[in-house]
Structure 1
Amino acid sequence: MYLVCGEALFDVFLDSEEDPGTLRLDARAGGSPFNVAIGIARLGGLSGLLTGISTDLLGSRLVKVLERESVSTRYLVRSGRRTTLSLVALDEAGHPDYVFYGLGSADCSVVKDELPTIGAEVTGFHFGSYSLVVEPVADAFTTVAAAAGGRFVSVDPNVRPTVEPDLDIWRTRVSEYATYADLIKISAEDLEFLYPNAKPETTAVDWLDAGVHAVVVTDGHNDVRAWTKSGLESRVRPPVSKVVDTVGAGDSFQSALLARLARDDDPKTAVTSLDAERLDDLLNYALQAASITCSRRGADLPRGNEIVDRLG
């Protein structure tokens, strides 16, 4: 089972066409790690979520969503703190812009002493987004990563400058996680935020030298690139499809990577033994997942049969 560590919240979508004096609430359960946990489960994998969840009305709804999606709730840390809200506005191309409200909420406030004991059923961890940098949960989660004990670790920085504008804090955390991680997936946009003007292959080599086994860089409608510690390099073109919006596209890609890695092997074994054919298969599978999500509104991640239908 993958244990996904990170935030859980509600995305509130703003209608740019409505009267500016009114505000209709179109809220969807979300948060990048929350989405990834659901995405893995929808693709037939086993997943659980480690996060702080409020006992308030919104928190209870988040728990119900996880239960409905067959995501383990064993590792939730419940508290009376409020639930984070994220306001989402889409530009003309369907790209989202996020503003977060409620930092200091349940998902950000987990401390080391509240961390549950990790069971033997957990074979891999995934970390990402603002839970990497917002204290005290960031410190708690680095403790989890450091204690992975040889189990698989995946990271997607998913940089959110509106939450933590100090990019040096992001760089420090990402560098630390690179010493724990087996897989780092990152967007070209996030790479540019963190390391302006650096070539993706240069950063990839730095992370591989730190101990990472595979680095994957996504770039919207441009080619996905990947490098492995064994010396493989791959470039795969995304499928052409209609884009409604790109909300959840990265989460779909990430969850598909993880689900595909664990299809036949322990994910640690799978990522360390990738050959060229399996690497390309992994990237193609994840690209199809992201493409399906982009074809519909919001972070509506695909089921396995939808990807199989696309791949033929």
Structure 2
Amino acid sequence: MTEAVRPAVQPPAVTVIGEALIDLVQLDTPGDYRARPGGSPFNVAIGLARLGHRTALMARLADNTFGRLLRAHAAAEGVDLTCAPAAAEPTTLAVVSMDAEGRASYDFYLDGTADWQWTETETALVPRDTAVLHFGSVASWTSPADRHIHSVARRLRAGGTTLISYDPNVRPALLGDPERGRQAVERSVGTAHLVKASREDVEWLYPGTPIEKIAAHWLELGALLLVVTDGPDGAHVFHAGAGSLSRPGRKVAVVDTVGAGDAFTAGLLGALTRHGLHSPRTLAAADPGVLRIAVDDAILVSALTCERLGADPPTALPRPASPARAPLEVTDLTFPDGNRRRGTDGPAPRPMQPTGS
């Protein structure tokens, strides 16, 4: 008897929606800048693709030199751009400056640019196989984009099977004041199952309020999992059913912090997906041990990104899958130029190439 050949099971698909812009990164010589693809959602999509996940990007990419650069960069990384329309408006620019410790600050040029002019026709093109939707950053609270993006998130959350992920990525200079910021962010938190935020985000939004109290409030709004990153000190995790835990950071030689938070988000979503926590049901029942592993992976991915100029996340080289268990553990990380960084101890890994949707 010939054994039937089982069809290959496609891994869960992650769709990221939001801005794709150009970071003009300050170099050592005053007045010199390097143009690099950026934007928090764009960075998350690139990070996920480099970690080997089927990833689609929904972003309005300008039909100009910068827009074509963004499109070519994402396509080269294996990101599915089927739902990334060509836009007539120009590309958003962010001028990035670094302090002596490599911390980034941003000046944005975004009036009338492509990222915010979504239409209902464009946002209706969400890939049908989307298991996880990630949104956030400037597009989640900039009109008119915010209205369309929240409509997508609410519609998919109402379906009951898609996991909704959100990162506020607060920009005080654009939000104006904490009261406006709280209103915008809490609306999005109420739409999401998974929320990743930085300590700087929550301290600006809720001055003087303990993180534990903020976490309890956001979980009451509807989130299942909140992860608050704390720079070199790691991250704090709050789960609606499994309680809370903290994980330490990793010491690295910091070049700059551009894209570090986005790399953390990509690492976290990738790890949760590998461990089967890619639906509201499975995330709600998450084991604390798995959450710890996922957050440790995210911390590692973020730390390695800090060793590079600009938002340049690493690529995973996974341990061969065990026949009894499909999820992969990150054991080695490499950058696209071949500059490998060792992660945790483990056997020699095999390369994994990112695939499109």
Aligned structure 1 segments of 4 or more residues deviating by more than 6 angstroms: none
Look up the match of 1:311. 344
Partner Cα separation in structure 2 for residue 263 and residue 15 of structure 1: 37
Query: What CA distance in whole angstroms lies between the structure 2 residues aligned with 1:41 and 1:233?
Result: 29
In 1, Cα distance between equivalents of 2:170 and 2:226: 16
Aligned positions, number: 308
Residues 119 and 296 from structure 1, CA distance in 2 versus in 1: closer, same or farther, beyond 3 angstroms?
A: closer
d(CA) in 1 for partners of 2:186, 2:119:
22
- SS in structure 1 opposite 2:274? coil
1:118, CA displacement in angstroms? 2.2
Counterpart in the other structure of 1:13: 25
Do residues 99 (structure 1) and 100 (structure 2) align? no
1:75 aligned onto 2:66? no
| Higher-Rg member (1/2) | 2
Q: Partner amino acid for 1:188?
A: R
- Select between 81-90 and 23-32 the one with higher mean Cα deviation: 23-32
Q: For 1:135-214, what aligned pairs fall within 5 Å after superposition?
A: 135-148=143-156, 149-150=159-160, 151-214=162-225
Report the CA distance shift for 1:299/1:114 in structure 2 as closer, same or farther (over 3 A). Answer: same
What's the TM-score, normalizing by structure 2? 0.83
Seen in structure 2, the aligned counterparts of structure 1 residues 16 and 163 have a Cα distance that, compared at 3 Å, is farther
Classify the secondary structure of the residue corresponding to 2:311. Answer: coil
Q: Which is further off, 154-163 or 302-311?
A: 302-311
Corresponding residue number in structure 1 for 2:326: none
RMSD between aligned alpha carbons? 1.5
Task: Spell out, residue by residue over 1:43-90, the C-alpha distance to the aligned partner (whole angstroms, 9 max, x if none).
Answer: 111111112111111111111111101111011122110001110000
Contact kept in structure 2, 1:261 and 1:270, CA below 8 Å: no
Task: For residue 57 of structure 2, give the secondary structure of its aligned residue in structure 1.
Answer: strand
How far is 1:277 from its partner?
0.9
Residues 270, 45 of structure 1: alpha-carbon distance in 2 compared, 3 angstrom cutoff: farther
**Residue matched to 1:55:** 63
Structure 2 counterpart SS, 1:134: coil
The answer for the alignment partner of 2:9 in structure 1 is none
Q: Report the residue type matching 2:163 in the other structure.
A: F
* 1:291 pairs with 2:303: yes
Q: What amino acid is the match of 1:60?
A: R
Gaps of 5+ in 2: 1-12, 319-329, 333-342, 346-357
What is the identity percentage for the equivalent residue pairs of Structure 1 and Structure 2?
A: 34
Distance 1:68 1:202, change over 3 A: same
